[in-house]
Structure 1
Amino acid sequence: MRGRRIGLIAAAILAVVLTVVGFTIVTGSKSTGGGPRGSGVATVGGPFTLTGVDGQAVTEKDLLGKPSAIFFGFTYCPEVCPTTLSELSALADQLGSDADKLNLVFISVDAERDGPEEMKQYLTAFDSRIIGLTGTPEQIDAAAKAFKIYYTKVLLDDGDYTMDHTASVILMDAYGKFFGTMAYEEAMSVMLAKLKRLIGEG
């Protein structure tokens, strides 16, 4: 019982730290979100090795040269993930040809259910430019830690499970440096302005 209490306290502290950094954390259906770019609280981004929908290895180096909008989620997500990916698809349409100057990346936090084929099938419902990445539990955990992403498996009463996770889209410049975030349920006009700035400056 004491160990469980300590674990809950540690999770709460992590949630506070991530909120200060400026990320939105989804816990069930609720979220909290945050601060401006350049808060200096933590370094966001770093080395990772994941697997693309074609089964080939993808690292952080493959994203360099273009700015990136990176979202961590999972294919069984009931609301936040399909909503965010639909918004990214709509934003890509509004950007027109400028969307080709941007990496749109969806990284699964559910290694158990989201293999390359499942990711490929899931992403057919969204803009074809969205890059789907997954990996082993260890690879996903390393990527999540690099980008300061919170996620945890939550068991449901029916024996199934869901994933609580950070809901913000992380913006990185073409050199792999943290640029800012887009919060869940942020106004489309604000997100579009952020992406235009990212493309122009990043």
Structure 2
Amino acid sequence: MVRTAAILASAAVIALVGGLWYASRPAGGDPFDPCRSSAVAGGTDAIGGAFTLVNGQGETVTDADVITEPSILYFGYTFCPDVCPLDFARNSQAVDLLAEKGHSATPVFITVDPERDTPEVVRDFAFNNHEKAIGLTGTEEQVKAASRAYRTYYKAQDKSDEYYLVDHSTFSYLVLPEHGFVEYFRRDTSPEDMAARAACFIDAAG
């Protein structure tokens, strides 16, 4: 009888403490928590931010000019023999799948090889992948700043070779207006999975 009373008293205390925690927990928690499938060292605030680049028309643009709707950013280069074309094509497919779900999104290509990737080159590369795609280039300093913001890596090989390659990271980044970076995708993510995960974030953003 005493043991039963103790158990009931403990349960009451646990319920009271739990109720107090629930009532006093911080409001406005992460609305995207149910959508997240990956962790970011330092948190999502450590990735993304402002950038200034040059679009396919030779105009200087900022992130505010480019990210006007949900966007999937990719850092690569147009001379890439295999990885970049496949990755960006996958991102474009995901955008089409999102459209089927009623979500408008834009694939964005940011070069890490501004020496060869002129505004005209990135414009054509982007458009040949998707009619909504945006290609961006800039000065070496502008590209480096954008790369640092998204914590990407790139390093050109011997430029004495006309057909030099550029080593680079291959993540794609989901960026939402007013929220910034919210998720990244690895190379092995299928367009279907990318679209489904992106839709979750877009819906959560309201």
TM-score normalized with structure 1 length: 0.74
Equivalent residue in structure 1 for 2:174, among 167, 171, 175: 171
Q: Distance in 2 between matches of 1:68 and 1:37?
A: 20
The superposition leaves residues 64-86 of structure 1 with CA deviations (integer Å, 9 ceiling, x where unpaired) of 55222110000001111110111
Residue aligned with 1:192, SS: helix
The superposition leaves residues 168-189 of structure 1 with CA deviations (integer Å, 9 ceiling, x where unpaired) of 1011222243211111021333
Residue aligned with 1:184, SS: coil
Q: Distance in 1 between matches of 2:40 and 2:199?
A: 18
The superposition leaves residues 180-200 of structure 1 with CA deviations (integer Å, 9 ceiling, x where unpaired) of 111102133321211212321
Aligned to 2:123: 120
Answer with 119-128 or 68-77: which moved more. 119-128
Identity of aligned residues (%): 33
Aligned to 2:133: 130
- Structure with the higher strand share, 1 or 2: 1
Once the two structures are superposed, the pairs formed by residues 14-163 of structure 1 within 5 Å of their partners are 36-40=38-42, 43-96=46-99, 101-155=104-158, 160-163=163-166
Distance 1:143 1:157, change over 3 A: closer
Q: Is the 8 Å Cα contact of residues 65 and 175 (structure 1) preserved in structure 2? A: no
Q: Is the 8 Å Cα contact of residues 71 and 106 (structure 2) preserved in structure 1? A: yes
Q: Is the 8 Å Cα contact of residues 98 and 104 (structure 2) preserved in structure 1? A: no
Distance 1:81 1:64, change over 3 A: closer
**What amino acid is the match of 1:36?**
S
Q: Please list every run of 5 or more consecutive structure 1 residues that lacks an aligned counterpart in the other structure.
A: 1-34
The superposition leaves residues 2-33 of structure 1 with CA deviations (integer Å, 9 ceiling, x where unpaired) of xxxxxxxxxxxxxxxxxxxxxxxxxxxxxxxx
What's the CA shift for 1:37? 3.7
**What amino acid is the match of 1:89?**
S
Q: Is the 8 Å Cα contact of residues 52 and 133 (structure 1) preserved in structure 2? A: yes
What's the CA shift for 1:90? 1.6
What's the CA shift for 1:137? 0.5
Provide the aligned length of Structure 1 versus Structure 2: 168
What's the CA shift for 1:133? 0.4
Q: Is the 8 Å Cα contact of residues 37 and 179 (structure 1) preserved in structure 2? A: no
What's the CA shift for 1:40? 2.5
- The structure whose Rg is larger is 2
The superposition leaves residues 100-138 of structure 1 with CA deviations (integer Å, 9 ceiling, x where unpaired) of 632321000001100101112222321111111000101
Which contiguous aligned blocks of 4+ residues in structure 1 show a shift greater than 3 angstroms? 97-100, 156-160
Residue aligned with 2:124, SS: helix
TM-score normalized with structure 2 length: 0.73
Residue aligned with 1:155, SS: coil
- RMSD of the alignment, in Å? 2.3
Q: Distance in 1 between matches of 2:97 and 2:74?
A: 19
Distance 1:176 1:164, change over 3 A: farther
